[in-house]
């Protein structure tokens, strides 16, 4: 939701809302225009290669050496004392995260349509960043669902034994949707996306992601290699979305060496300063 060309103020509110929403969506599919996007693509490809190699190696090592031992050490599924962990793990549930971000996008669109000038530009700048967060998680989740269906790995103790090699590809059931972990995928894609926009929040967000991943192990929902796979897919998916936005000059800039940096975004203080002078169109 970057600031589109000024919409005539004479339009009524529903028309303002429709125009703002339409132009904010159109910016996502416009042709890329950044002159350094090729450099950024090459740098991202190298990072993907490094991540894929390290991630695949770690997943295989965990599957061979740790998965079975770890799930045998965890408390039995359904243990009453684990209720705080069950509450905590829901903070990484993809549906909850996506609905929260979607609701925030709707609120921003409703408010932006009632503003004009600098005030509208600030709200639309916030909307662009929310679009980035939503798509970072959403695209990663879609990739994860395809992988879950294709790989068909059984969750811990599905089949009655601690068998980390229980694979039935294309099974399509929840019991065989273990790799990659959806919660870990959601948490790490969100952590990467938030950290890309606001670097000072990286430590906090990746701590959150690690905690969510650990809850999946304690609850016997996943093997250790599953959460590593989820983290890998989440980060790779968010990186791809960041490149998409940067190539269209949405919220990000690209340096000469291909490094993608977040552009300065709207701050609370700026919203507060313009609030007194803004009025409905």
User: CB under 8 Å to 236, separation ≥6 — which residues?
Assistant: 48, 51, 52, 140, 143
Residue 269 has a pLDDT of 55
Q: ∠ CA(273), CA(193), CA(2), 5° rounding?
A: 45
Over residues 131-157, the mean pLDDT reads 97
Q: What is the pTM of this model?
A: 0.91
Residue 10 has a pLDDT of 53
pLDDT > 70: percent of the chain: 91
Classified as helix, coil or strand, 9 is coil
pLDDT of 173-225, one tens digit each? 999 999 999 999 999 999 999 999 999 999 999 999 999 999 999 999 999 99
Q: How far out from the chain centre does Cα 242 lie?
A: 10
- Say if residue 5's pLDDT is above 70: no
Average pLDDT value for the chain: 91
Q: 250-267 burial by CB neighbour count: b if 16+ within 10 A, else e?
A: bbbebeeebebebeeebe
- Say if residue 112's pLDDT is above 80: yes
pLDDT of 225-279, one tens digit each? 999 999 999 999 999 999 999 999 999 999 999 999 999 877 655 555 544 444 3
Q: How many CB atoms lie within 10 A of CB 246?
A: 28
Q: Are 71 and 157 in contact (CB under 8 A)?
A: yes
């Amino acid at each position: 939701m970057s600031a589109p060309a000024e919409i005539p103020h004479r339009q009524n509110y529903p028309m303002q809302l429709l125009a703002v929403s339409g132009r904010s969506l159109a910016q996502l599919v416009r042709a890329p225009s950044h002159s350094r996007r090729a450099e950024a693509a090459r740098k991202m490809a190298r990072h993907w290669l490094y991540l894929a190699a390290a991630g695949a190696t770690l997943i295989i090592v965990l599957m061979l050496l740790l998965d079975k031992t770890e799930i045998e050490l965890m408390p039995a599924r359904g243990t009453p004392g684990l209720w705080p962990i069950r509450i905590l793990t829901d903070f990484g549930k993809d549906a909850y995260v996506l609905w929260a971000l979607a609701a925030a996008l709707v609120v921003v669109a409703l408010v932006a349509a009632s503003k004009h000038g600098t005030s509208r530009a600030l709200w639309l700048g916030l909307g662009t960043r929310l679009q980035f967060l939503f798509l970072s998680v959403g695209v990663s989740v879609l990739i994860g669902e395809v992988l879950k269906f294709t790989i068909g790995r059984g969750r811990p103790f599905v089949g009655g034994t601690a068998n980390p090699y229980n694979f039935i590809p294309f099974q399509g059931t929840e019991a065989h949707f273990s790799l990659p972990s959806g919660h870990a995928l959601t948490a790490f894609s969100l952590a990467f996306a938030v950290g890309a926009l606001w670097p000072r929040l990286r430590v906090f967000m990746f701590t959150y992601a690690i905690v969510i991943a650990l809850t999946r192990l304690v609850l016997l929902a996943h093997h250790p290699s599953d959460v590593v796979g989820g983290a890998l897919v989440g980060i790779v998916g968010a990186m791809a979305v960041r490149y998409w936005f940067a190539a269209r000059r949405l919220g990000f800039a690209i340096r000469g060496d291909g490094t993608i940096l977040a552009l300065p975004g709207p701050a609370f203080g700026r919203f507060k300063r313009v609030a007194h002078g803004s009025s409905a169109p």
